Amino acid sequence: MSRRPIEQWIQLVHKIGKDFETRAQEYDRDDKFVAENYSVLKENDFFKAIIPEELGGSGLTHSEMCDILRILAQYCGSTALALSMHQHLLSANVWKYKQGQGMEEMLKKVAANQPVLISTGANDWLESSGEMEKTKDGFLVTAVKHFASQSAGGDILVTSAAYEDPENGKQVLHFAVPIKSQGITVLNNWQALGMRGTGSHSVKLDKVFIPETAITLRRPKGEFHPVWNVILTVAMPLIMSVYLGIAQKAARIAINHAANQKKDRPYIPELIGEMYNTLTTAELNVKDMIRIANDFNFKPIDQNGQDILTRKTNAANASIKVVEKAMEIVGGQGFYRSFGLERLFRDVQAAKYHPLQEKDQLRFTGEYILRNESKNSHVILAA
C-alpha cells in the first residue's frame, strides 16, 4: 500500500477536527477524557503514523506530525496535546531505529496494535520519583507519577524510578509496563485549569513487578544524560506545535471579531500588530525547533538539547501572550465561555509547565554556557 500523502492527512485532520471541536466544550466542562476522539484517531491510524513504513507504520516524518498536531490543536487542544505525548515517545524510538540502535520489534508491535503510550517523564526529569526494590528476576516499583497524560485511556506506561544500586550507587531506571498490571491504579484526579480532556491523572504504582528484561536505560540519578538530548529534541517540537496551533486559532478569532466590529476603537490595529509580532515569535521558535530535530537526522549533543529548551521557553511565552492579546482585542465578550477564547486562554497556560519551566531552563542554560566558556571547549555565543 502506497504512503498516504501529507496533504491527505491534513485534509483528514480538518474533517475529523470539525467533529472534535463540537465535543471539546463537553470534555472541558466535565473533566472528561477525549475517548471518542481517540477512537477516531485509532481508526485512522494516527497512533502508528510516524512509524516507518517498513515496520508497518504510515511513514510520516517528524515535521509532518508537528504540522498535524498544530492543526488538530485548533479544533481541540486536549486531543492534540494528549496525542503529542504518544507521538514523542514513539519518536524517541524511531530516532533510535534510524540510528541503527534496534527498536524494530517494539515499533512493529505498536504499528500492529496501536497501543496508546503514556508519558510520565515531565515531572521526573533528572531525579525521578519513587523507588525500586530488587527482587528475583526484576524489581518492585512503588511510586506516584503525576501528569500522566492519556492515563485515562492509555495502554502502556513509559516511566522511570529511582534505584539504590549496591555497586553503582543512586541510579534511575527506565522501563515500560502495561497500565493494567497488578498494583497500578489510575487515581482519576485530573481536575485542572486547562487541557482538561487530556486525562492526565496521577498513576500510583504499589510494588509493581518490573522484569529485569524490561529495563531500557540505567543512568546516574540527578545527572544529565545524553538520552535527554534525544527526548527533548523530538518531544518539544511536537508538544509546542500544539500550543502554537492554539495561539493561531486565538489570533484568527480576534482578527475576525475586530474586522466585524462597528465600534470606534482606534487602538485596535496597534493591538493586532502587537499580537501578530508575538505570534511570529512563536512560529519562528517552533519552526527552528523542528529544524533542529531535522526529521530524526540529528546527533544527541548537548547543544541541541540546550537550543531546544531555550526555544521551548520562547515559544511558550509567546503563545501565551498571543492568547492574552486576543482576549484584550475582543474585550469583555471574550470572557464568556460560549465565545471560544476562554478555553484557549486556559489551555495555553499549560505550555509553561512542560520541561523545563522557565526559571529552571534559564539556570540550566546559563550554567551550561558558563561551564563551556570556562573550558574554552565550545563557542556558545557568536564572537
Q: 51 falls in which pLDDT band (50, 70, 90)?
A: very high
Q: What are phi and psi of 238, to 5 degrees?
A: -65, -50
pLDDT tens digits for 130-179? 999 999 999 999 999 999 999 999 999 999 999 999 999 999 999 999 99
Q: Where does 227-375 sit in CATH, by number?
A: 1.20.140.10
3-state secondary structure of 258: helix
Which pLDDT score is estimated for 145?
A: 96
What average pLDDT does this structure show over 50-55? 98
Contacts of 295-301 spanning 24+ positions with Cβ under 8 A: 295/61, 295/62, 295/63, 296/61, 296/62, 296/91, 296/94, 296/95, 296/98, 296/234, 297/98, 298/95, 298/233, 300/226, 300/227, 300/229, 300/230, 300/233, 301/229
Contacts of residue 296, Cβ cutoff 8 Å, sequence gap at least 6: 61, 62, 91, 94, 95, 98, 234
Residue spans in the chain of domains classed CATH 1.10.540.10 = 6-115
pLDDT tens digits for 248-274? 999 999 999 999 987 778 999 999 999
Closest CA to 179 of 87, 132, 125, 116: 116
* Nine cell digits for residue 105: 520489534
* pLDDT at 380 > cutoff 90: no
**Which DSSP string do the residues of 169-204 spell out, in sequence order?**
EEEEEEEEEETTSTTEEE------SS-GGG----EE
Which pLDDT score is estimated for 66?
A: 98
Which pLDDT score is estimated for 120?
A: 87
Which pLDDT score is estimated for 4?
A: 86
* pLDDT at 121 > cutoff 80: no
What average pLDDT does this structure show over 374-379? 55
Which pLDDT score is estimated for 373?
A: 80
Q: 247 falls in which pLDDT band (50, 70, 90)?
A: very high
What average pLDDT does this structure show over 19-35? 97
Residue spans in the chain of domains classed CATH 1.20.140.10 = 227-375
Q: How far apart are CA 92 and CA 300, in angstroms?
A: 11
Residue spans in the chain of domains classed CATH 2.40.110.10 = 121-220
What average pLDDT does this structure show over 353-380? 85
Mean pLDDT of the chain: 95
Apex 75 CA angle, 74 and 77, nearest 5: 70
Q: Where does 121-220 sit in CATH, by number?
A: 2.40.110.10
CATH number of 6-115, picked from 1.10.540.10, 1.20.1090.10, 3.90.870.10, 3.30.70.330: 1.10.540.10
Which pLDDT score is estimated for 222?
A: 93
* pLDDT at 381 > cutoff 90: no
Q: Are 250 and 201 in contact (CB under 8 A)?
A: no
Half-sphere exposure of 75 (CA within 13 A, CB side): 21
pLDDT tens digits for 205-214? 999 999 999 9
Which pLDDT score is estimated for 272?
A: 97
Amino acid at 66: C
